[in-house]
Amino acid sequence: MLIKIINFKRKSPRRPADLRRLFGYLFTPQMAAEPDLNRLLGPPELTHLVLTHRPWGEELELAANDLANQLDSYTREAGVCQRECAGQPGCKGIRSCLGTKRPPNWYTHIVFSFAPMSTPDLTAPPDTHKTPRRHFSPSANAVRIAKDALDFMGWSETQPAVFVVHGDKAHTHVHVVTTVPVFGGGVWDVFRFSRQQLFEIAKICTEAFELSTQTPMLQGYYRRWTNINNAS
């Protein structure tokens, strides 16, 4: 498994419109020439988010806009009354903190990619955590493994997140979009991970779920990837 944090450098802060376009891409089913390489392998899985529109067909754009607005609202509210004045004499309360600007990087896009030879392993990977299984599809198992890796990265399950599994490459991969601000916990410093740290986390999860891998090839991928070490 490979872990890639996508953080394109830009001069201006990210906007909800950027997030809407990202969701539009993630949700769009792209039919490939080979039936086994169609993009969507399952519906999006949401954490602490609610969809009132179907994320496909004519309602796709509405769903993307809805999710972007929810993540934006969470980001703004997460910063409420976490300043030094909170609870101190002279603090004007929550209302004085409303409207706090979003940080430049207020959400992150992470991709968890599985080696092509590990695709059959996603059908029924071992589960040392004894997680209650509601589904047995490779798509659901891929999300479950991605969540396990996120735990090693310090992700808080209180953060809203969207998981989308794609199969439009030779390897199954999970796209994760989640916020960086955390209620009561400041900011999730996800951009600090080095390539080597991400490789070690991926290695732990690969071994834990007994996934087939090609270690030399994975190392080569990491050398070619442009990751975001200490990006601002």
Listed in sequence order, the residues at least 6 apart from 179 whose beta carbon sits closer than 8 Å to its beta carbon are: 71, 74, 75, 78, 106, 107, 108, 159, 160, 161, 188
For strands 45-47 and 161-166, give the pairing.
antiparallel
Residues in the chain: 232
Output the tens digit of pLDDT for each of the chain's 232 residues: 899 999 766 667 788 999 999 999 999 987 655 656 678 888 899 999 999 999 988 999 999 999 999 999 888 888 655 555 555 666 655 555 555 667 788 999 999 999 888 877 888 777 666 666 655 788 888 999 999 999 999 998 889 999 999 988 778 999 999 999 888 667 898 999 999 999 999 999 998 888 887 655 554 554 544 443 333 2
Q: Which domains are assigned to the chain?
A: 2-224 (3.30.930)
Report the distance separating Cα 129 and Cα 64, nearest Å.
33
- Position 130 scores a pLDDT of 65
Q: Name which of 192, 195, 194 is nearest 222 in CA terms.
A: 195
Report the distance separating Cα 50 and Cα 71, nearest Å.
11
Model pTM?
0.81
Could you give the angle at the alpha carbon of 119 between the alpha carbons of 224 and 43, nearest 5°?
95
Count of other CB atoms within 10 angstroms of residue 95: 9
Report the distance separating Cα 151 and Cα 157, nearest Å.
8
Is residue 3 within 8 Å of residue 198, measured between CB atoms?
Answer: yes
- Position 9 scores a pLDDT of 64
DSSP for residue 110: E
The dihedrals phi and psi of 46, each to the nearest 5 degrees, come to -110, 145
- Position 231 scores a pLDDT of 36
End-to-end CA distance of the chain: 26
Is residue 27 within 8 Å of residue 220, measured between CB atoms?
Answer: no
Secondary-structure percent of the chain, ordered helix, strand, coil, rounded to 5: 40, 15, 45
- Position 109 scores a pLDDT of 96
- Position 95 scores a pLDDT of 55
Q: What 3-state DSSP class applies to 90?
A: coil
β strands within 143-201, DSSP E:
161-166, 173-179, 181-182, 186-187
- Position 92 scores a pLDDT of 59
Count of other CB atoms within 10 angstroms of residue 152: 16
The dihedrals phi and psi of 178, each to the nearest 5 degrees, come to -145, 165
User: Which structure tokens are listed for 131?
Assistant: 């997680």
- Position 228 scores a pLDDT of 36
